[in-house]
């Protein structure tokens, strides 16, 4: 993205599951009456969070936004398995290098009972429901994504597309990994800047959000966004599994808010409000400037800062905020409250607030707490009541969530581990388990044959919890 823009900038949204749809609805409500046309999608299993999206869209002036929703139904087990048995036909048309595996079977356990709409949805089931809507029958999901891409392309703006989903919820994270691939790599042909925004769980969430599935989700994102690991996936399966998040992935913690409120609805409302402000304030300029900044941070010291550099293991960024006058403070406890482990050191970052004095004070406090290589630089933006910031270049091993989810995952039975996965299951690969025929590699084959990925299994598992990951290499100030 160039420094000087000749086209207006617009933020377009895809919300998946309850968390994602809530962000889409609130962002639509925050749109000013005038501005570049916005495109938005809400996708859920059942109606779920879709009424809020429809209601928000109805309140917009004509032509201000193109908003569509898709409700995925839960078919009978026999009907779903009938679709899954045809998956080789679908994949053969989509994957130029797809091998017609004679051992193929549907990835869902044969004795599995279908969850009801509104019940906790395992990631592997959400993937199947989305796949049926994308590949089979009238293909409503495929049609919707292509129409969305056409709308974004036809808006006459420089656009970024944000795919928002719950990181630990089965519906959002189970669908997002396939939808991102279909949208970015197929519908857009990698023309658009696509950003993943994952809402992290907190202590107040229901047990279904603490079932260990986040371990698989983080590893799937890791193997998408870390270029070295991603090359190990596409070496086997081809370019359609190239990282679809061309604009990176931003994680949104909730734990620091819940620790102060003890109230889950209040926590969701506060986090949603801050994220919506980040996406919509100043016509999306806060997000636009942050993406330019993050691309700068991603460049190694041997490469010119203006270059767009693919990420290695430090592919994640974290959106955070603190109160100007309230209980969420910038203090020594903030990193742990955000879910970060000791040892994470950002290269630099930019605190934002509409309050000049508050952002200057926060920049000094954040510099003292995080000790970045370059002192934090306060800039305008954000809100008048909080200080917002994005911590750059985080590895999955910097997250407490990775280890707590791994501990829970390790206690699951094989079928439960299978249901925690999504990406690559249709290719016969259970990413978080060791490969069967390739010692030291990851990706257990579901059918006992030679499906795998060229990623070391130890890179999937991560180190021991006690190990502290070294600080990222500092980059020179411009």
Please write the tens of the pLDDT for every residue from 218-250. 999 999 999 999 999 999 988 889 999 999 999
Position 435 in a domain: no
Instruction: Give the SS3 label for residue 133.
Output: helix
> Which residues form the domain of 18?
9-400
Our count of domains for the chain comes to 1
pLDDT per residue as tens digits for the range 425-440: 999 999 999 999 899 9
Give 131-140 pLDDT, tens digit per residue: 999 999 999 9
Q: What is the mean pLDDT of residues 447-465?
A: 91
Residue 91: inside a domain, yes or no? yes
Nearest to 65 by CA among 2, 160, 169, 148: 148
Dist CA 16 CA 44 (whole Å): 6
The answer to whether residue 92 scores a pLDDT higher than 50 is yes
Rank 1-15, 147-161, 262-276, 446-460 by mean pLDDT and report only the highest: 262-276
pLDDT above 50: residue 469: no
The average pLDDT across 44-70 equals 96
64-77: pLDDT as tens digits = 999 999 999 999 99
Whether 471 maps to a domain, the answer reads no
- pLDDT surpasses 60 at 154: yes
Determine, yes or no, domain membership for 388: yes
Give a yes or no: residue 381 inside a domain: yes
Main-chain phi, psi angles of 261, to 5 degrees? -95, -35
pLDDT of residue 477 exceeding 90: no
Q: What pLDDT sits at residue 463?
A: 83
**CATH number of the domain that 343 lies in?**
3.40.50.1440
Q: Give the pLDDT confidence score for residue 209 in this predicted structure.
A: 92
Which of 1-15, 119-133, 278-292, 397-411 has the weakest average pLDDT?
A: 1-15
> Is residue 53 in some structural domain?
yes
Q: Is the per-residue pLDDT at 307 higher than 80?
A: no
List the 158-166 sheet strands across, edge first: 65-72, 38-45, 9-16, 158-166, 193-199, 249-252, 316-323, 386-394
Give phi and psi for 70, each to the nearest 5.
-140, 120
What pLDDT is attached to residue 326? 94
pLDDT for the residue numbered 79: 95
> What pLDDT, on a 0 to 100 scale, did the predictor assign at position 311?
81
| Largest separation between any pair of C-alpha atoms in the chain | 66
Strand blocks (E) in 223-339: 249-252, 316-323
pLDDT in tens, 317-369: 999 999 999 999 999 999 999 999 999 999 888 999 999 999 999 999 999 99
Q: pLDDT for 11-44, tens place per residue?
A: 999 999 999 999 999 999 999 999 899 999 999 9
- 3: in domain: no
Residue 457 inside a domain? The answer is no
In this structure, what token pair is assigned to residue 107? 């990835």
What is the full DSSP assignment across 174-220?
A: HHHHHHHIIIIIIISTT-SEEEEEEEPP-TTS-GGGGSSHHHHHHHH
**Residue 89 burial by Cβ neighbours in a 10 Å radius (0-12, 13-18, 19+):** exposed
């Amino acid at each position: 993205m160039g420094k000087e823009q000749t086209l207006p900038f617009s933020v377009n949204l895809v919300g998946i599951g309850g968390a994602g749809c809530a962000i889409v609805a609130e962002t639509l409500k925050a749109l000013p009456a005038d501005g570049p046309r916005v495109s938005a999608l809400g996708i859920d299993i059942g109606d779920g969070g879709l009424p809020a999206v429809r209601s928000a869209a109805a309140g917009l002036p004509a032509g201000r936004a193109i908003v569509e929703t898709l409700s995925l139904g839960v078919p009978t087990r026999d009907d779903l398995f009938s679709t899954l048995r045809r998956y080789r036909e679908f994949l053969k048309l989509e994957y130029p290098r797809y091998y017609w595996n004679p051992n193929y079977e549907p990835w869902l356990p044969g004795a599995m009972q279908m969850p009801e709409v509104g019940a906790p949805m395992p990631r592997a089931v959400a993937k199947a429901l989305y796949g049926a809507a994308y590949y089979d029958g009238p293909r409503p999901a495929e049609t919707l994504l292509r129409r969305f891409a056409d709308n974004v392309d036809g808006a006459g703006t420089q656009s970024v597309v944000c795919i928002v989903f719950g990181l630990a919820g089965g519906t959002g994270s189970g669908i997002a990994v396939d939808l991102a691939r279909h949208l970015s790599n197929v519908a857009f042909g990698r023309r658009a800047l696509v950003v993943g925004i994952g809402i992290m769980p907190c202590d107040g969430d229901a047990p279904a959000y603490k079932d260990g599935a986040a371990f698989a989700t983080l590893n799937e994102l890791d193997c998408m966004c870390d270029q070295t690991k991603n090359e190990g996936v596409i070496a086997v399966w081809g370019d359609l599994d190239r990282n679809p998040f061309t604009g990176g992935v931003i994680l949104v913690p909730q734990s620091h808010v819940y620790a102060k409120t003890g109230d889950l609805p209040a926590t969701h409302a506060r986090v949603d409000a801050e994220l919506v402000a980040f996406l919509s304030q100043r016509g999306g300029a806060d997000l636009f400037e942050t993406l330019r900044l993050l691309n700068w941070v991603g460049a190694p010291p041997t490469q010119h800062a203006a270059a767009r550099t693919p990420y290695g293991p430090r592919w994640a960024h974290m959106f955070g905020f603190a109160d100007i006058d309230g209980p969420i403070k910038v203090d020594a406890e903030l990193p742990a409250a955000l879910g970060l482990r000791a040892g994470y050191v950002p290269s630099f970052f930019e605190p934002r607030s509409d309050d000049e004095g508050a952002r200057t004070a926060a920049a000094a406090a954040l510099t003292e707490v995080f000790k970045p290589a370059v002192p934090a630089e306060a800039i305008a933006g954000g809100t008048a009541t909080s200080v917002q910031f994005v911590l750059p270049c985080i590895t999955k091993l910097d997250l407490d969530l990775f280890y707590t989810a791994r501990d829970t995952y390790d206690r699951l039975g094989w079928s439960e581990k299978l249901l925690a996965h999504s990406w690559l299951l249709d290719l016969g690969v259970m990413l978080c388990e060791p490969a069967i025929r390739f010692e030291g590699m990851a990706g257990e084959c579901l059918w006992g044959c030679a499906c795998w990925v060229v990623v070391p299994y130890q890179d999937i598992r991560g180190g021991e919890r006690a190990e502290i990951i070294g600080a990222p290499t500092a980059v020179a100030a411009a």
